Amino acid sequence: MTSFITFEGIEGSGKSTQVRLLADWIKSRFGEEPVLTREPGGCRISDQIRATLLDAANKGMDERAELLLYAAARAQHMAEIIQPALSTGKFVICDRFTDATLAYQGYGRGLSKELIEELNTLATCGVEPDLTFLLDFPPETGISRARSRNADSDGPNEDRFEQEEIAFHHRVRNGYLDLEKSAPRIHRIDATGSIEEVAARIRTVFSQFIEQRQAI
Ligand code: TMP
C-alpha cells in the first residue's frame, strides 16, 4: 500500500525522533521497511543544496534565492527518491516537505503564497502527501532545544534558521496552524510531553488513517 507521509513543525519539535519511531512501528506492524527521507536533502545533489541553505555563514542569502534553492532541492529529491519509491508501492516518510516552504518562506519571510504553491507544484509534479503530522510545540522551548543540540554537534554548522529572531518562529508556527485549517490531510499533534506520549498520539492518527484507506 503506497502512502506518502510527511512530518512538519518548528525546529526542536522532535520530528526526527518521531519519524524514526513511526518507521519502526510500521515495520513491526506491516513487515515493511518505510523509505525515510528528509528535506532539504535526501539525495546527493539535494544534500549539497541543503549545506548551502543552512550554512550560518550564508546570512546574506536573498529570500528569493532561498525559495528557489528549496524548490531545486525538492525537484531533485522528488525525481530521484520519492517518486521511484512511491511507484514501487512503498511507504515513504519525509521529514519536512512542501508545507515547510509555505510556513517558512511564505508566512515566515512574507513571500507570495501563490508563487510558492506554483513552485511546489513544479518541483513535485503535483504529488501531495497522503498524511501530514504537524508537531506543534512552543517556539521558545523548541528553539532553545535546537540551539543546544547544534552546539553539541560535531557535524556541519546548520543553524542559519535557528539564528532567526523568535518572532520569525512564531510566524512559522502560526502559518502551520493556518495551513492545518485548510488541509484535512494535516493533523496537529501536541508535541509536548514525553517522547512515548507523542509517539502514541501519532500512532492513533496513523491507525485511523490506515483503517480509512482499507475501508475504501
Ligand atoms: P531541519 O532542521 O528540520 O532538517 O530543517 C532545515 C531547515 O530548513 C529548517 O529551519 C526549516 C527550513 N526549511 C525551509 O525554510 N523551507 C523548506 O521548504 C524546508 C523543507 C525547510
Sequence-separated (6 or more) residues with CB below 8 Å from residue 58: 52, 160
Predicted pLDDT at 151: 76
Tens-place pLDDT, residues 142-164: 988 888 887 777 776 767 777 78
The string over 38-49, giving b where at least 16 C-beta atoms fall within 10 Å of a residue's C-beta and e elsewhere, is bbbbbbebbeeb
Predicted pLDDT at 144: 87
Enter the pTM of the model: 0.95
Distance from C-alpha of 199 to C-alpha of 149, rounded to nearest angstrom: 21
Amino acid, res. 184? P
Predicted pLDDT at 199: 98
* C-beta of 162 in contact with ligand 1 (< 6 A): no
The per-residue DSSP string of 73-91 comes to: HHHHHIIIIIHHHHHTT-E
Predicted pLDDT at 152: 78
Predicted pLDDT at 1: 60
Superfamily holding 3-215:
P-loop containing nucleotide triphosphate hydrolases (3.40.50.300)
Expressed in angstroms and rounded, the spacing between residue 78 Cα and the centre of ligand 1 is 16
Expressed in angstroms and rounded, the spacing between residue 161 Cα and the centre of ligand 1 is 8
Low-confidence spans in the chain with pLDDT less than 50: none
Grid coordinates of 55: 550554512
* C-beta of 11 in contact with ligand 1 (< 6 A): yes
Predicted pLDDT at 182: 94
Q: Are 6 and 132 in contact (CB under 8 A)?
A: yes
